[in-house]
Amino acid sequence: MSLKVTAAGLMSLLMDAGRFGKASLGLTQGGPVDPFAFELANHLVGNESNTTAIEVTLGGLSLQAQTDCVVSVTGAGLPVKLNGRDSPMWRAFVVRAGESLELGQPESALRSYVAVQGGFAVTPQFGSTSTVMREGIGGLNGNKLQTGDLLPLGKPQRLHSLALAEPDIPAYSANPVLRLIPGYQFKQFSAVNRALFFASEYEITGQADRMGYRLKGQGVAADIQGMLSEGISLGAVQVPADGQPIVLLNDRQTIGGYPKLGNVLSLDCTSLAQCRPGTKVSFEAISMEQAHNLLHLHRAFKQRLLEQLEPVDA
């Protein structure tokens, strides 16, 4: 009862929703940078939201079924081939024992998700199966998938096979405006620096990974001499001495000592994490109340989508 990795791709990681409550040990949260696509992938095959699936960065993953199973692929759009035949995304389908599932390269965006009915049966570490390569924690052995790995399957929770209606398939924005909740040392950036930051366009550099996205553009600086390291939450925008902002994501260090302007809304962290180096982004300030309203609206939207999923013959 397993899937065999016949090609691992650039970076394919086993993960559940993330590792929470372990920052006091220095362990980061990990988990999907696109939680919506991750959750949908699980729901389409009848899994609970927190079931272990695979995040595939830039495609290239190939799996061979050792047993019949029901699979879904979501996230960044890419060609999906089942034994050479085109297979749809955002829709559950059956993979028979011996058949191969191949993910091509996404035309745009970066991260796709592969879920299997019953999930991957991986032993959690510190309460989570999420792989964090920097820590060597989670997944099969703390590492990304390797060609030849056997991924054991769990017991199906529900035998659902569902599809997301075509119009509901999310589009990833090409040049996202990242909504930022001012916070942390925001008040210690001068009015001029803040204005420059929100008025400028920033380019994603090559140093962009699950830990953080380093941007290039108008430099900004806080009026702070030295700072003590402090806890870092998702989406924090820190500004090191060179003045170039870094947006910190799921695999961020748990503490750090650079001044921070605030945090990008989680929904926009996803948009950012789906962008490639070279992409231009900008920032817009929102209040905490707006942020919470957006999260509640998003929850309602997601709930409606989940209720509208269509059963498919699988």
Smallest gap from Cβ 235 to another protein, in A, equals 5
| Closest listed residue to residue 120, CA positions, set 89, 155, 96 | 155
**In the bound complex, what is the minimum distance in angstroms from residue 15's beta carbon to another protein?**
17
Q: Please report whether residue 181 would count as binding another protein according to CB under 8 A.
A: yes
Min separation Cβ 21 and another protein, Å: 5
Q: Can residue 26 be called a binding residue for another protein (CB under 8 A)?
A: yes
**Closest approach of another protein to the CB of residue 289, in Å:** 8
Among 4, 7, 20, 81, binds another protein (CB under 8 A): 20
- Nearest CB to another protein, comparing residues 18 and 170: 18
Q: In the window 250-269, what residues touch another protein (CB under 8 A)? A: 253-256, 262-266
DSSP letters of the chain?
A: -EEEEEE--SEEEEE-S---S-GGGT----S-SSHHHHHHHHHHTT--TT--EEEEESS--EEEESS-EEEEEEES---EEETTEEE-SSB-EEE-TT-EEEE---SS-SEEEEEETT-B----BTTB---BTTTTBSTTTSS---TT-EEEB---S----EE--GGGSPPPPSSPEEEEEE-TTGGGB-HHHHHHHHH--EEEEEEESSSEEEEESS---BS-S----EE--TTEEE--TT---EEE-TT--SEE-S-EEEEE-HHHHHHHHTPPTT-EEEEEE--HHHHHHHHHHHHHHHHHHHHTPEE---
Residue 276 binds another protein (CB under 8 A): no
Site size for another protein, by CB under 8 A?
46
Select 135 or 209, whichever has its Cβ closest to another protein: 135
Q: Does 165 bind another protein (CB under 8 A)?
A: no
- When the beta carbons of 87 and 266 are compared against another protein, the nearer one is 266
Residue 140 engages another protein in binding (rule: CB under 8 A): no
Q: Which stretch binds another protein (CB under 8 A): 70-78, 86-94, 167-175, 176-184?
A: 176-184
Under the binding rule (CB under 8 A), the answer on residue 299 touching another protein is yes
Q: Quick one: 118 or 182, whose CB is closer to another protein?
A: 182
Select the residue interacting with another protein from 48, 201, 203, 230 (CB under 8 A).
230
In angstroms, what is the minimal distance from the CB of 76 to another protein? Answer: 24
Distance CA 79, CA 35 (A): 21
Determine, following the binding rule CB under 8 A, whether residue 212 of this chain makes contact with another protein: no
Q: Which of 232, 246, 261, 273 binds another protein (CB under 8 A)?
A: 232
- Of 272, 280, 252, whose CA–CA distance to 109 is shortest? 272
First to last CA, the chain: 18
* Site membership for another protein, residue 24 (CB under 8 A): yes
Q: Which residues bind another protein (CB under 8 A)?
A: 20-27, 125-126, 134-137, 181-188, 228-236, 253-256, 262-266, 288, 291-292, 295-296, 299
